[in-house]
Amino acid sequence: MDNELLARMDHYLDAQFGREDDVLKETRAEMAREKLPSIAVSAAEGRALQVLTALSGATRVLELGTLGGYSATCIARGLPPGGKIISLELDEHHAATARKNIARAGFSDTVDVRVGPALEGLAAIKAAGEPLFDMAFIDADKDNYPLYLEEVYPLVKKGGVILADNTMPRNMHAPNDGGIGKFNVAATNHPGLLCANFPMLRDDSIDALMVCIKVGD
């Protein structure tokens, strides 16, 4: 499939299923002004996150990788009143931008952005004995995806959902190498997870969003 066709398909999906309102447009514009990397989820994937959140019935969500708050805003829109998100972000500047965007979207009381390495944040959540999460969304540094899966799994309740972004290996000659490849192998072979990988178009390339249901204890 050629890149031009992929780009046209991506444009169609965003136009039909990922229409951005003024809040999301301004969130993306603010990230650009603050010179954050342009790696936020697409408009269509943001809508998918909102739908999956609502479909799961989640009230407590864990996010790894806040960036500028685009995905957190989409997830928050799928939560019922009183729902909560804990979002872990390594970079203080990214976190500050995210808080500004999340406040503009009206979700300051919903999203708790915590700054620091994700593994440390996960350890702190575990040590604090916080309630289990209904859903988790992994979208942080790809090399650590296998470790994130290990640490996130016990923090999600049975029947809950674990999502992971960017799960299409970049090197299809060695798809099981690297953080994403190892994560995919670990997730699909985990006895406590039922997983499927859904292709997602992004401009001139194909990526994927993994959706797992926690079926074990």
Ordered by start, the domain boundaries in the chain are 3-214
pLDDT on residue 203: 67
Span 158-174, pLDDT tens digits: 999 999 999 999 877 67
Find the range with the poorest average confidence among 12-26, 85-99, 119-133: 12-26
pLDDT on residue 15: 84
What torsion, rounded to 10 degrees, do the Cα atoms 131, 53, 137, 120 define? -20
pLDDT on residue 160: 98
Stated as kind and residue range, the H or E segment containing 29 is helix 22-33
Report residue 77 CA to chain centroid gap. 14
pLDDT on residue 142: 96
Structure token pair of residue 67: 């960036």
Helix 70-77 to helix 43-56 angle (10° resolution) is 40
Mean pLDDT of 190-212: 91
Pairing verdict, β 111-115 and 133-138: unpaired
Residues 8 and 135: their CA atoms lie apart, in Å, by 32
- Residue 1 — very low, low, confident or very high, per pLDDT cuts 50/70/90? low
pTM: 0.95
Contact predicate 139/64, CB 8 Å: yes
* Homologous superfamily assigned to 3-214: Vaccinia Virus protein VP39 (3.40.50.150)
Looking up tokens 């575990």 gives: 126
Paired strand residues for 198: 209
Segments of the chain assigned E as strands: 60-64, 84-89, 111-115, 133-138, 156-165, 193-202, 205-214
